[in-house]
Amino acid sequence: MALIKVESVSFSYLKDTPLEREALNDISFTIEKGEKIGIIGKTGSGKSTLIQLFDGLIYPLVGEIYIQEKEIKHWSSKELCRIVGLVFQYPEYQFFAETVFEEIAFGPKNIGVPEDKLEDCVIEALETVGLSYKDLKDRSPYNLSGGEKRRLAIASILAMKPEILILDEPTANLDPRGRKEIMEYIDKWARRGNTLILVSHDLDEVMRLVDRVIVLNKGILIFDGPIEELFLNVDKIDEAELEPPEIIKIVKALEEKGYPVKGTFTLPELAERIIAYRSYISS
Amino acid sequence: MKALESFPLGQYIPMGSFLHKIDAKAKIIASFLLIIIIFFLKLNVSYLFFLFLILLGIFFSSLPLKYFFKSFRPIYFLVFFTFIIHFFFGEEGGRVFFRYGIIHVTENGIKMAIFMSLRLVFLVMITSLLTLTTSVLELAHALEDLLKPLSIFKFPAHEFSMMMTIALRFVPTLLEETDKIIKAQKARGAEFGKGNLVEQAKSLLPIIIPLFLNAFRRANELAEAMEARGYRGAKGRSRYKITYWSFKESAFLVFVCIYSILMLIAF
C-alpha cells in the first residue's frame, strides 16, 4: 500500500491575480513505507510547496494526493498529523512554550494523547534526538544552543509518532557539529523502518541518508530514481542548477587522470579502489 | 490564508496621473482638511457634493473605479455593522416604524445609520485616494517636512517618519511570517477559532508569541544593520528625490479649500 501517492499535481500561488506564480507543474510519484527519499532542487523549485501538500496545509489546484490510499481532503488535519510529521525550515522560530516539556507536549496534546501518556511521549521524543529529559524538561526552549533547539523542534514533531517524517532543510544555519549530530539522529530514527523525506539543495548532505531522490526544477519533476543513478546522470544535476557532491567531483577528476573509479560514491570505497589499482600497477 | 492574501487596503499603485504627480505634502493637507470637513457636514445635499469631489479625485488619479472599490473590500463588514447597529438599536426619535424588545427602528435611527455609514465610507475613500496615489516613501518624507516646524519643541520629525516607513515596510513581511507560523502550528495539530472565547484566545498564543519574538529579533537586527551603515538620524542626511512645491500644488490646495468652505457655508 502506497503511503503517499501524488497524481499529476499542479499548484500556483495567488491564482487568478496578476501576481500568479506557478510552483508545481504536473507532478506524479508514489512513496512506499520505509523509503528514504531526498527531494532536492534549488530555491524556488517548488520543494517546500510540495511538502506542504502532504500535510494538507494547502490543497493542489489540479490533481490528487492520496495518503494511505485515501484522498487527502477526506482526512482531518489531526488524523494527518499522526501520519505525516512536517518539520518546517527554521522550526525553532515557532517555539512559544515556557518549558521544553510543554513545547514537546503541544503536538501530542492537540492530537488527543491522554494526559498520563504525555510524559512517556515526551521522554521518547527527546531520547530519539539525543536530548536528556531530566536536564531539559523545565528549561526554556529559548535558552538552548542552536543545534539543541533544532533537535528539540524535530522532537516536538516526533512526539506525535508520525509514520513519515518530512524535514525541510534541517541543518540550515547550523555549525558543522550541529549538522552532524542532527543527521546522525535522523539516520538512527529512519533506520528503524521509518519513512523519511529530506528536503534540501545540498546533495552532499542528502546522499548519506537517502536511497532515492526526486529532483525538482522550476516546479517540474526532472528526475526520480535511486541516488546512484542520479550520480551517473550528472547532467540532471546541472539542469537543476545544483552542485554535485564533492565525492562525485573527486571521482570525476580521478577518472580523467585514468583511474578506474567510475561508480564509486563513498570515501572508503574510493580509497580501496585506488589502493587496489596502485598495487595492480606496481605488480 | 485568504484573508492575508487580500490585504492590500489602499496599497500604492504607481501611475503617472495628475493626483500621483502632486507633491505628497499637498495631498496630506488636503486629505486632512477633508476628513475634518466630513465631521462638520450635516446629512443633506452636501454629501452629494462631497461624493462628487471624491469622484473627481478618482478621475484625476486615473485609477480604475473597479480597483478603487475592490481595494477597500475589507471594511465593507465594518460599514455594514455600523449600519445595522444604528438601524436597529439607534437613537430614539421621530416616527417609530417597528419596536420589539430592545430592537427599535425609528426615523432618527435610520437617518443616523445612513449618516454614520456614509461618513465611514467617505473617510476610507479619502484616505485610500491618498495612499493609492502616494508611495510610502513619499508619504513619510512629506510627513517629515510637515512636522519639521515642530522640531522647535524638540519633536523628532525625521525619526517619526523613519519609524512610520519601517513599520509600513514590515507589514507584508510580518503577514508572510504569520502565515508560516500558522502552518507550522497546524502541522503540530493546532486548531484555531474553535471552542469558547477563552479557548479561542488561548489557541492564538502559539501564533502570537513566536510572532512577537521574531519581530523583536528582526527589529534588533535591523537597528544593528542601520548603525553599521552609519545611520544617526536626521543629522546630515540628504534625500535621493527632492520635491518642489509649484503652482500645481498651490492651485490644488486652494481648490480643495474653496470647495470645502462652500460646502460648509452653502448647506
Cβ atoms of residues A61 and A10 within 8 Å: yes
**A242-to-A43, A173, A220 alpha-carbon distances in Å:** 10, 19, 15
Helix, strand counts (H, E) of chain A: 12, 10
- Residues facing A85 on adjacent strands: A165
CB neighbour list of residue B156: distance below 8 Å, 6 or more residues apart: B233, B234
Query: Which pLDDT value is given to residue A97?
Result: 92
Cβ atoms of residues A61 and B156 within 8 Å: no
**B33-to-A29, B37, B44, B260 alpha-carbon distances in Å:** 62, 6, 20, 8
Tell me the torsion sign for CA atoms B27, B28, B34, B35: positive
In chain A, where the domains are located: 245-283
Helix (H/G/I), strand (E/B), else coil: A169: coil
Is the CB of residue A57 less than 8 Å away from at least one CB of chain B? yes
pLDDT at B5 over 50: no
Task: Read off φ and ψ for residue B8, nearest 5 degrees.
Answer: -55, 75
Determine which helix (DSSP H) or strand (DSSP E) holds B19, and give its type and residue range. Answer: helix B18-21
End-to-end alpha carbon distance in chain A: 54
The confidence band for B196, taking pLDDT boundaries of 50, 70 and 90, is confident
Cα A244 to Cα A213: distance, rounded to the nearest angstrom: 13
What are A261-275's pLDDT values in tens digits? 887 888 888 999 989
**A228-to-A27, A168, B7 alpha-carbon distances in Å:** 22, 22, 47
Q: Which residues of B touch A55 (CB under 8 A)?
A: 186-187
User: Which grid coordinates belong to B112?
Assistant: 443616523
- Residues facing B144 on adjacent strands: none
* Contact flag A95-B210 (C-beta cutoff 8 Å): yes
Instruction: Name the most confidently modeled range: A256-260, B194-198, B226-230.
Output: B226-230
* Contact flag A57-B206 (C-beta cutoff 8 Å): no
Please state the rounded mean pLDDT for residues B116-132.
Answer: 89
Is the CB of residue A41 less than 8 Å away from at least one CB of chain B? no
- Residues facing B181 on adjacent strands: none
Determine which helix (DSSP H) or strand (DSSP E) holds B113, and give its type and residue range. Answer: helix B107-133
Cα A129 to Cα B248: distance, rounded to the nearest angstrom: 68
* Contact flag B188-A160 (C-beta cutoff 8 Å): yes
pLDDT at A121 over 80: yes
Please state the rounded mean pLDDT for residues B4-32.
Answer: 79
The confidence band for A17, taking pLDDT boundaries of 50, 70 and 90, is low
CB neighbour list of residue B166: distance below 8 Å, 6 or more residues apart: B222
* Contact flag B187-A96 (C-beta cutoff 8 Å): no
How far A217 CA lies from chain B's nearest CA (Å)? 23
Is the CB of residue A91 less than 8 Å away from at least one CB of chain B? yes
The pTM is what? 0.77
- Residues facing A198 on adjacent strands: A38, A167
- Cβ neighbours, 10 Å, residue A53: 21
Q: Which residues of A touch B5 (CB under 8 A)?
A: 14
Cβ atoms of residues A167 and A186 within 8 Å: yes
Measure CB to CB from residue A52 to each of B183, B190, B209 and give the nearest one. B183
- Residues facing B104 on adjacent strands: B99
**Rg, chain B, Cα only:** 23
Is the CB of residue A157 less than 8 Å away from at least one CB of chain B? yes
Cβ atoms of residues A69 and A31 within 8 Å: no
Helix (H/G/I), strand (E/B), else coil: A36: strand
Of A53, A94, A102, which to mutate for an interface test with B (greatest number of B Cβ within 10 Å)?
Answer: A94
Is the CB of residue B265 less than 8 Å away from at least one CB of chain A? no
Higher-scoring residue by pLDDT: B194, A134: A134
pLDDT at A204 over 90: no
Tell me which DSSP letter residue B232 carries.
B
Cβ atoms of residues A4 and A30 within 8 Å: yes
* Contact flag B209-A14 (C-beta cutoff 8 Å): no
Is the CB of residue A169 less than 8 Å away from at least one CB of chain B? no
Cα A91 to Cα A170: distance, rounded to the nearest angstrom: 9
* Contact flag B187-A14 (C-beta cutoff 8 Å): no
Determine which helix (DSSP H) or strand (DSSP E) holds A93, and give its type and residue range. Answer: none
pLDDT at A75 over 70: yes
Cα B188 to Cα A161: distance, rounded to the nearest angstrom: 11
* Contact flag A81-B189 (C-beta cutoff 8 Å): yes
- The pLDDT > 90 percentage for chain A reads 66
The confidence band for A219, taking pLDDT boundaries of 50, 70 and 90, is very high
Query: Which pLDDT value is given to residue B61?
Result: 87
Work out the mean pLDDT of chain B and round it to a whole number. Answer: 85
Residue the block writes with cell 500568479: A20
The confidence band for B6, taking pLDDT boundaries of 50, 70 and 90, is very low
Cα B106 to Cα B87: distance, rounded to the nearest angstrom: 8
pLDDT at B8 over 60: no
Residue the block writes with cell 502541522: B187
